[in-house]
């Protein structure tokens, strides 16, 4: 049911009328649009996009846990807040740095996501172990979706995605940020993980 202020003059309306129209404020204006029934197609592409967003979101959550806690802000949080363009949030900027690696034009590429997963699997044993152990110590956990990309996205892969985002956006000029995470040694991974928690 629509809620109306000033009903005779229709100064403001909010809500839907039947299954036909929706009234709502948007950027200071009162607007109306056609009502559309939300759908969840659970397509392959939607599953890939959600998996990618959740993976980078888990890394952002770990940075936020430190940045908003009583501890000293994380160095990675400081690097991102310094690098973010005006008018953007640092966490959205970080997610964009990762998602830019997965797009061609404006289209998400499942092949690009699979290529990053393969690159992670192909890391040297020491670096791969460092990504896994550091991600676990940061509190990241594995997850999987029931559709789209259904393989397990382990904690180490989530940390690797965060490293790719930081490198892609050049948030730091010193090691390890100035080198591709595909060539990181275990000490570089340790340093990156330390930047989640220390300034």
What pLDDT digit, counting tens, does each position of 13-58 carry? 788 888 888 888 888 788 888 988 878 888 999 999 999 999 999 9
pLDDT in tens, 53-105: 999 999 999 888 876 665 567 889 889 989 999 989 999 999 999 999 999 98
Task: Report residue 196 as tokens.
Answer: 């989640």
pLDDT in tens, 124-141: 999 999 999 999 999 999
Per-residue model confidence (pLDDT) at position 66: 74
Burial of 113 (0-12, 13-18, 19+ CB in 10 A): buried
Neighbours of 177 (CB within 10 A): 20
Residue 183: pLDDT band (50, 70, 90) is very high
pLDDT at residue 7 is higher than 60: no
DSSP secondary structure, 132-151, as one string: HHHHHHHT---B--SSSS-S
* Whole-number CA gyration radius for the chain: 21
Which secondary structure element, helix H or strand E, spans residue 33, and what is its range?
strand 29-34
Ramachandran angles phi, psi of 168, nearest 5°: -60, -35
Q: Cα–chain-centroid distance for residue 2?
A: 35
Domain boundaries, the chain: 3-34, 44-197
- CA–CA separation, 24 vs 113, rounded Å? 37
pLDDT at residue 190 is higher than 90: yes
Cross-strand pairs, 13 = 4
Residue 9: pLDDT band (50, 70, 90) is low
**pTM (predicted TM-score):** 0.81
Mean of pLDDT values over 146-174:
95
């Amino acid at each position: 049911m629509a809620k109306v202020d000033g009903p005779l003059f229709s100064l403001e309306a909010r809500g839907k009328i039947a299954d036909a129209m929706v009234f709502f404020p948007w950027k200071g204006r009162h607007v109306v649009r056609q009502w559309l029934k939300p759908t969840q197609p659970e397509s392959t592409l939607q599953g890939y996009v959600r998996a990618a967003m959740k993976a980078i979101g888990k890394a952002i959550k770990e940075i936020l846990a430190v940045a908003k806690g009583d501890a000293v802000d994380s160095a990675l949080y400081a690097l991102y807040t310094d690098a973010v363009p005006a008018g953007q949030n640092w966490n959205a900027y970080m997610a964009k740095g990762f998602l830019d690696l997965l797009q061609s034009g404006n289209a998400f590429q499942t092949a690009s996501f699979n290529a990053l997963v393969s690159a992670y699997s192909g890391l040297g044993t020491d670096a791969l172990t460092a990504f896994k152990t550091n991600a676990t110590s940061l509190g990241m956990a594995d997850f999987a979706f029931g559709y789209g990309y259904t393989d397990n996205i382990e904690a180490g892969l989530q940390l690797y995605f965060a490293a790719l985002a930081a490198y892609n956006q050049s948030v730091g000029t010193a090691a390890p940020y100035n080198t591709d995470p595909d060539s990181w040694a275990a000490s570089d991974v340790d340093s990156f993980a330390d930047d989640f928690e220390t300034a």
